[in-house]
């Protein structure tokens, strides 16, 4: 029986792990993820969730335990934030190199020093090269649905890669929203039992991941890249199928809003995408042709979709909740890289906003839009990267 619950994205992630019939959870507490694992602990101890919950002693051990469990043949889940994700860094590489379909909820939180508990994408975006698929969610329903979709995607034999489902700390993690928890039988029909590309088995002994010489290593990395390309194709298909079965879908790789005839497209990730939609509606009421594109999947990066978006637009404004020191926002860089080989490129204006949880509302986005439109009139971008709302 489907049910509507009113709960925080963290608790909803727990519901999703339960609905996905996860069998091993290994996790370590960190603000603002803690209520994910607390919810799962409740489910496991009440018997509602048939799983082993390993209360590990660090995030590095959390990912190591997930790798062990996934290699030994069960569906696994974990969750973390910021420094916990950073602590797992080498294990993230090991998981993707091992082609294990682990799914992890990342409750986005700014990196220190100094300590901050508020959201930005510096944690998950600094892990973009680890071979993990990355989803960015804009509301609690999407968190639930994306976790289920992620297992389906990751356990596809054309993929066999791990995935992060990212949700912003406090904005989503601790905010109550109504969410539909779909009927379990229908979820089971959508998500078959755990499958992985290999398994530790006494009847078929082998060494996994022993030394690989330069003679072979590149081919293994190429296969991961191929798997990412396959994921790029499969994500929209899975999203559509999910939409047919459950009534919720998110535009596949990019959640596009009023982009078809837009002069300006505002590119964002996560909850800023919701604010952007409000800004778009307000600006359209003023007669401005603006659209919003929320990049839902950051890895694999939706290069072809971005090129399609750029076809009619005259200017793209990217809002990055992250800065790569010494360069620019990641979203700005990757959109520029996607468009490099395109003949008729739109202008590209990069904005840095919302670091350390500074609020980014539709009002800020409207200002960003108006500035970008002015540059469009001038035919060139005034400044390649603008830091928004900075104190004097």
Q: Using CB under 8 A as the criterion, which residues of the chain lie in contact with other proteins when the complex forms? A: 23-24, 26, 50-52, 54-58, 60-62, 64-74, 76, 90-91, 94, 97-99, 160, 197-198, 200-202, 204-213, 216, 219-220, 223, 227
Q: Give the Å distances, CA to CA, from 355 to 117, 267, 323.
A: 11, 16, 8
- Dist. CA 73–CA 102, nearest whole Å: 11
Q: How far apart are CA 71 and CA 81, in angstroms?
A: 24
- For residue 248, the minimal CB distance to other proteins (Å) is 30
Neighbouring C-alpha atoms within 13 Å toward the C-beta of 48: 14
Rounded to whole angstroms, how far apart are CA atoms 349 and 216?
42
Least CB distance from residue 123 to other proteins, whole Å?
Answer: 20
Give the Cα separation of 366 and 381 in Å (integer): 17
Which CB sits closer to other proteins, 68 or 251?
Answer: 68
Give the nearer residue to other proteins in terms of CB position, either 48 or 201. Answer: 201
Nearer to other proteins, 60 or 370 (CB): 60
If the CB atoms of residues 161 and 262 are measured against other proteins, the closer one turns out to be 161
Reported as type and span, the H/E element at residue 44 is helix 34-46
Rounded least distance, CB 209 to other proteins, Å: 4
Q: Are 82 and 54 in contact (CB under 8 A)?
A: no
Closer to other proteins at the Cβ: 60 or 245? 60
Cβ proximity to other proteins: between 51 and 148 the closer is: 51
Check if the beta carbon of residue 42 is closer than 8 Å to that of residue 127: no
Residue 174, number of CB atoms within 10 A of its CB: 16
Q: Report the DSSP pairing between strands 264-268 and 254-257.
A: unpaired
Least distance CB 311 / other proteins (angstroms): 36
Rounded to the nearest whole angstrom, what is the least distance from the CB of residue 60 to other proteins in the complex?
Answer: 6
Minimum CB–partner distance for residue 223 and other proteins (Å) = 6
Measured from the CB atom, the residue of 23 and 128 that comes closer to other proteins is 23
Tokens describing residue 256: 């596009």
> For other proteins, which is the closer residue by CB, 94 or 248?
94
Of the CA atoms within 13 Å of residue 76, those in its CB half-sphere come to: 26
**Both tokens of residue 161?**
């890669």
Give the H/E segment covering residue 351: strand 347-352
Residue 41 to residue 265: CA distance in whole angstroms: 43
Least distance (Å) between residue 61 CB and other proteins = 3
Pick between residue 102 and residue 348 the one whose CB is nearest to other proteins: 102
Residue 33's Cβ-side half-sphere holds a number of Cα atoms within 13 Å equal to 26
> How far out from the chain centre does Cα 191 lie?
20
Q: List all residues 6 or more positions away from 277 whose beta carbon is below 8 Å from its beta carbon.
A: 257, 292
Least distance to other proteins, CB of residue 199, Å: 9
To other proteins, the closest distance from the beta carbon of 308 in angstroms equals 31
The position carrying tokens 């401005």 is 288
């Amino acid at each position: 029986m489907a049910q509507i619950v009113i709960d925080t994205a963290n608790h909803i992630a727990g519901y999703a792990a339960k609905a996905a019939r996860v069998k091993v959870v290994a996790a370590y507490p960190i603000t603002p993820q803690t209520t994910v694992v607390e919810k799962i602990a409740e489910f496991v101890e009440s018997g509602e969730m048939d799983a082993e919950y390993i209360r590990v002693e660090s995030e590095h051990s959390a990912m190591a335990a997930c790798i062990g469990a996934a290699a030994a043949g069960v569906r696994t889940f974990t969750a973390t934030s910021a420094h916990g994700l950073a602590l797992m860094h080498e294990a993230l590489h090991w998981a993707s190199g091992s082609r294990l379909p682990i799914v992890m909820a990342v409750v986005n939180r700014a990196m220190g020093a100094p300590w901050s508990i508020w959201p930005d994408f510096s944690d998950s975006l600094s892990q973009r090269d680890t071979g993990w698929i990355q989803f960015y969610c804009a509301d609690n329903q999407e968190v639930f649905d994306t976790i289920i979709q992620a297992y389906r995607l990751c356990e596809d034999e054309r993929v066999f890669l791990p995935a992060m489902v990212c949700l912003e700390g406090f904005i989503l993690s601790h905010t109550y929203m109504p969410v539909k928890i779909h009927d379990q039988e229908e979820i089971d029909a959508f998500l078959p039992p755990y499958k992985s590309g290999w398994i530790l088995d006494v009847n078929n002994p082998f060494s996994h991941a022993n030394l690989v010489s330069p003679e072979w290593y590149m081919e293994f990395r190429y296969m991961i890249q191929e798997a990412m390309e396959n994921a790029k194709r499969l994500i929209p298909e899975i999203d559509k199928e999910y939409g047919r079965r459950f009534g919720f879908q998110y535009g596949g790789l990019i959640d596009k809003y009023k982009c078809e005839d837009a002069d300006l497209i505002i590119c964002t990730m996560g909850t800023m995408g919701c604010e952007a939609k409000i800004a778009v509606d307000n600006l359209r009421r003023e007669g401005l042709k603006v659209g919003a594109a929320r990049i839902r999947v950051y890895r694999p990066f939706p290069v072809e979709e971005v090129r399609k978006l750029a076809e009619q637009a005259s200017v793209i404004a990217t809002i990055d909740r992250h800065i790569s020191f010494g360069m620019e926002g990641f979203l700005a860089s990757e959109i520029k890289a996607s468009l490099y080989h395109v003949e008729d490129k739109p202008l590209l204006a990069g904005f840095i906003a919302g670091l350390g949880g500074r609020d980014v509302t539709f009002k800020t986005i409207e200002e960003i839009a108006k500035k970008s439109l002015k540059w469009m009139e001038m035919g060139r971008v005034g400044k390649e990267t603008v830091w928004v709302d900075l104190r004097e």
